[in-house]
C-alpha cells in the first residue's frame, strides 16, 4: 500500500509535469503503434488484394502499372489492346474466366469501368461474388451503371438516379459527355477496389461520343482468373518472353509486393522516426523527474526519517516513471485509434483497400511494454539521485 | 539495562580548511526506559547531530550507541532504517509533515515502514491529540499548533520505545508551546515511550525533572 500511495501522491503533487509528460508518451506511443499497424496492414492488404483475379493482360508496360490500373483502379492505362487479344486468352485452356475492361471516363473523379456482366460471376473472396445489393445488374448495350458501394455513398447516387460521365480519368467539368446513364444497381460492399468504381457495359466506354473511333474495337486490359494459378507461368512465358506486344502481370500479389519492396526504405525511415519520437518521449520522463529532484529532496528526507529504506525511495521513483508511461500508453491507444482511423479512411478512399484499426497486432502489446520498460529504465537515473539523498542535510538545518 | 546507552560517541565533518570539525564527542549518556529527559543546548551545541546519530540517520565515526540492547553503531544504513522505523519516533522543530498527504496519511506513513499500517490506531492517535475532525485535512489546511499535533501523533504511530524531539515547541507561540509540551509528555507516558527532548527554551526545560546540559555532555560543544 505504501509504495503505490507514495507514487500516486507524487504524481498528483507534480500534476502538470505528470500530464505533460504522459501526453508526450501518449503521442509517441500512439504514433509508434499507428505507423507499425498501418505499415503491416497495408502491406498485407495490398499484397493479398487481387479482387478475385490471378493475372492481368494489357498493353506492353510495367507489370505494376498494369496491376495498379486494372486491379486497384489507380494510375493511367498503359494503352489499349485489340478485342482479339481478349478472345485469344479467353479461349486458352488454362483460363477459367477472362473479363475485359475499358477505362477512360469518370464521374466526379470516380472511375467508370466498362466490362461485361461476367463481373457478377467473379468470386472476389472464397464464396463471395460481386453481388448487386440494391437494384439489378446493368444490361449489355444499355446506358446503365452499377455503382460500387463506396462510390455510391460518396457520390450520393441511388438506384434510378441519372448522370453524365466526364471524359478522362480526372474530373474536369468542361469534359462532360452527352450520354446519360441511369443507376440500375449498387454493389454489396466487397472491401476491394471495386467498391470505388462505377461499372458500366463495355460498349459504353468503347462507343462514348468523343472517344477515338478505333477504341470501339479495343479494350484497356483483361482480368484473368486461372483454372490453376500455376498455369500462369506458361502464359507469362508466352506473352512476356516470346511476345513483345503485350504484358501478362502474374501473380498479382508478387507484383504488388515488388512495389512495397521498392518503398521499403520509406517504411524504415517512418519506423526510425517513430522510434526516435518514442526515445525522446521516454527521455522527457527522465528530464521531468530529474529536474524535480531538488524540490523532492525534503519529502524524500522525511520519508527516510520515518524509516523508509533507500531502496524503497529508489523503487518509488522508478515506479513513478513507469506509472507516467502507463498513463501515457492508456491515452496512446486513443491517439493510435485516431491516427489509424484517419489513415484507414484515406487509404480506403484512395484505393478501396480496407484497413482495420481495431484488429489485433503484436505491436499493441509490445509497444506499451517497451515504452513502460524504457521509462522505468530512464527513471533509474533520478532514482539513483533520490537513493543518495542526504537525509540529515535535507531534513533540518544542522545546528 | 538502560533503554539507550551511549559510550565514546564521536562525529566529525570535513571543515572548509581541509581538516575535520568534531561536532559530537559524548563520553557517556544513558536513558532509562519510559524516562523523560531534556537536553539544553544553544545553537552549535550539536544537538540535532546528536539526535540524528541516536535515530540512525547519521552513522557515528566512533563509539557505541546501544538502543534497546541493540548496537546501532555497527549496523548498515538499511538496518538502522529498520530500527528507526520500529523503535524510534521523531518530532522535528519544523514538524516535517508531508504536504501532499492528509493528517491521517501522515500518521499512517509513520507506521507503514515499521509495524505496518493500522488505520484504527492512526485515527485513535489523532483523536488523542484532538484532531479527530481533521483526519482528511492537508497540512496547509491546519494551524501551526494542529500541524505540531499531527507530528506528535505520527511520532507515536509506530509504537516507539523512544521519542526524540528536536526543539518541538520552537515554532509555536507561548500558549501553544506549553500545551504542546504537555501533550507530548502525556502521550509518551501513555504509550510507554521514553522521551529525549532538546531545547534552548528555559520555560520548556523548566517542565522537566531531569535536564542535562549538552554543553557539558558534549565535549565538542562550543
Q: Which residues of chain B are within 8 Å of residue A392 when distances are taken between CB atoms? A: 48-49, 52, 57-58
What gap in Å lies between CA A304 and CA A298, rounded to an integer? Answer: 10
Q: What is the pLDDT of residue B220?
A: 87
Averaged over B159-182, what is the pLDDT?
Answer: 89
pLDDT in tens, A245-304: 999 999 998 888 888 888 889 888 988 998 899 999 999 999 999 999 988 999 999 999
> Residue A7 pLDDT > 80, yes or no?
yes
pLDDT in tens, B25-55: 999 999 999 999 999 988 778 889 999 999 9
Q: What is the pLDDT of residue A160?
A: 96
Q: How far is B88 from chain A (nearest CA, A)?
A: 9
> Residue A77 pLDDT > 90, yes or no?
no
Least confident piece of the model among A204-213, A389-398, B107-116 = A389-398
pTM: 0.80
Q: Give the 3-state secondary structure of residue A116.
A: coil
Q: What is the sign, positive or negative, of the torsion defined by CA atoms of A58, A61, A63, A68?
A: negative
Averaged over B149-177, what is the pLDDT?
Answer: 91
Q: What is the pLDDT of residue A397?
A: 41
Q: Which residues of chain B are within 8 Å of residue A12 when distances are taken between CB atoms? A: 100
Q: What is the pLDDT of residue A1?
A: 58
Q: Which residues of chain B are within 8 Å of residue A311 when distances are taken between CB atoms? A: 78
Q: Give the 3-state secondary structure of residue A99.
A: strand
User: Quick one: pLDDT band at residue A398, thresholds 50, 70, 90?
Assistant: very low
Most B CBs within 10 A among A300, A306, A308, hence the mutation to make, goes to A306
Q: What is the pLDDT of residue A215?
A: 76
ipTM value, please give it: 0.93
3-state DSSP helix/strand/coil % of chain A, to nearest 5: 55, 15, 25
User: Quick one: pLDDT band at residue B176, thresholds 50, 70, 90?
Assistant: confident
Q: pLDDT above 90 covers what percent of chain A? A: 73
Distances in Å between the alpha carbon of A66 and those of A54, A72, A130, A179, A352?
A: 13, 9, 22, 28, 17
Averaged over A54-72, what is the pLDDT?
Answer: 93
Averaged over A330-347, what is the pLDDT?
Answer: 95
Q: What is the pLDDT of residue A258?
A: 87
Q: How far is B87 from chain A (nearest CA, A)?
A: 10
Averaged over A187-196, what is the pLDDT?
Answer: 91
> In what side-by-side order are the strands of the sheet with B20-31?
B20-31, B4-14, B62-67, B70-71
Amino acid at each position: 500500500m505504501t509504495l503505490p500511495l507514495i507514487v500516486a501522491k507524487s504524481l498528483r503533487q507534480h500534476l502538470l509535469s505528470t500530464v505533460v509528460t504522459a501526453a508526450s508518451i501518449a503521442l509517441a506511443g500512439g504514433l509508434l503503434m499507428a505507423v507499425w499497424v498501418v505499415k503491416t496492414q497495408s502491406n498485407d492488404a495490398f499484397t493479398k488484394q487481387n479482387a478475385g483475379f490471378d493475372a492481368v493482360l494489357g498493353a506492353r508496360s510495367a507489370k505494376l502499372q498494369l496491376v495498379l490500373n486494372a486491379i486497384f483502379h489507380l494510375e493511367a492505362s498503359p494503352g489499349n489492346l485489340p478485342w482479339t487479344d481478349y478472345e485469344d486468352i479467353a479461349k486458352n485452356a488454362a483460363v477459367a474466366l477472362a473479363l475485359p475492361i475499358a477505362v477512360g471516363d469518370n464521374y466526379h473523379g470516380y472511375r467508370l469501368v466498362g466490362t461485361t456482366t461476367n463481373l457478377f460471376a467473379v468470386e472476389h473472396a472464397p464464396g463471395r461474388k460481386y453481388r448487386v445489393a440494391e437494384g439489378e445488374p446493368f444490361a449489355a448495350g444499355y446506358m446503365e451503371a452499377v455503382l460500387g458501394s463506396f462510390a455510391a455513398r460518396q457520390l450520393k447516387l441511388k438506384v434510378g438516379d441519372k448522370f453524365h460521365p466526364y471524359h478522362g480519368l480526372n474530373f474536369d467539368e468542361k469534359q462532360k459527355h452527352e450520354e446519360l446513364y441511369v443507376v440500375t444497381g449498387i454493389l454489396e460492399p466487397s472491401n476491394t477496389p471495386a467498391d470505388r468504381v462505377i461499372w458500366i457495359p463495355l460498349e459504353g466506354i468503347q462507343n462514348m461520343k468523343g472517344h477515338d473511333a478505333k477504341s470501339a474495337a479495343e479494350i484497356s486490359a483483361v482480368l484473368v482468373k486461372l483454372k490453376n494459378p500455376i498455369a500462369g507461368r506458361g502464359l507469362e512465358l508466352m506473352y512476356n518472353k516470346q511476345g513483345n506486344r503485350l504484358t501478362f502481370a502474374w501473380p498479382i500479389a508478387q507484383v504488388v509486393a515488388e512495389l512495397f519492396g521498392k518503398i521499403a526504405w520509406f517504411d524504415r525511415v517512418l519506423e526510425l522516426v517513430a522510434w526516435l519520437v518514442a526515445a525522446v518521449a521516454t527521455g522527457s520522463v527522465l528530464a521531468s523527474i530529474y529536474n524535480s529532484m531538488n524540490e523532492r529532496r525534503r519529502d524524500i528526507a522525511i520519508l527516510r526519517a520515518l524509516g523508509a529504506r533507500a531502496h524503497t525511495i529508489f523503487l518509488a521513483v522508478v515506479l513513478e516513471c513507469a506509472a507516467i508511461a502507463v498513463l501515457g500508453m492508456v491515452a496512446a491507444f486513443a491517439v493510435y485509434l485516431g491516427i489509424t482511423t484517419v489513415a484507414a479512411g484515406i487509404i480506403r478512399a484512395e484505393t478501396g483497400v480496407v484497413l482495420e484499426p481495431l484488429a489485433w497486432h503484436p505491436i499493441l502489446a509490445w509497444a506499451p511494454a517497451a515504452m513502460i520498460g524504457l521509462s522505468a529504465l530512464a527513471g533509474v537515473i533520478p532514482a539513483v539521485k533520490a537513493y543518495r539523498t542526504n537525509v540529515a542535510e535535507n531534513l533540518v538545518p544542522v545546528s | 539495562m538502560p533503554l539507550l546507552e551511549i559510550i565514546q560517541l564521536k562525529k566529525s565533518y570535513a571543515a572548509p580548511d581541509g581538516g575535520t570539525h568534531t561536532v559530537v564527542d559524548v563520553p557517556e549518556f544513558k536513558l532509562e526506559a519510559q524516562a523523560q529527559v531534556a537536553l539544553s543546548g544553544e545553537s552549535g551545541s550539536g544537538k540535532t547531530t546528536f539526535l540524528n546519530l541516536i535515530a540512525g540517520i547519521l552513522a557515528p565515526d566512533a563509539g557505541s550507541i546501544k538502543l534497546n540492547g541493540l548496537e546501532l553503531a555497527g549496523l548498515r544504513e538499511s538496518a538502522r532504517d529498520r530500527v528507526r522505523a520500529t523503535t524510534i519516533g521523531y518530532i522535528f522543530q519544523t514538524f516535517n509533515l508531508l504536504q501532499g498527504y492528509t493528517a491521517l496519511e501522515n500518521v499512517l506513513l509513520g507506521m507503514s515502514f515499521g509495524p505496518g499500517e493500522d488505520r484504527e490506531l492512526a485515527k485513535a492517535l489523532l483523536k488523542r491529540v484532538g484532531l479527530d475532525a481533521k483526519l482528511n485535512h492537508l497540512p496547509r489546511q491546519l494551524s501551526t499548533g494542529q500541524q505540531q499535533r499531527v507530528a506528535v501523533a505520527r511520532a507515536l504511530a509506530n509504537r516507539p520505545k523512544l521519542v526524540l524531539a528536536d526543539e518541538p515547541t520552537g515554532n509555536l507561540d507561548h500558549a501553544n508551546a506549553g500545551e504542546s509540551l504537555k501533550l507530548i509528555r502525556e502521550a509518551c507516558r501513555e504509550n510507554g515511550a521514553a522521551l529525549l527532548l532538546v531545547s534552548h527554551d528555559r520555560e520548556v526545560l523548566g517542565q522537566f525533572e531531569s535536564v542535562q546540559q549538552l554543553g557539558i555532555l558534549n565535549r565538542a560543544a562550543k
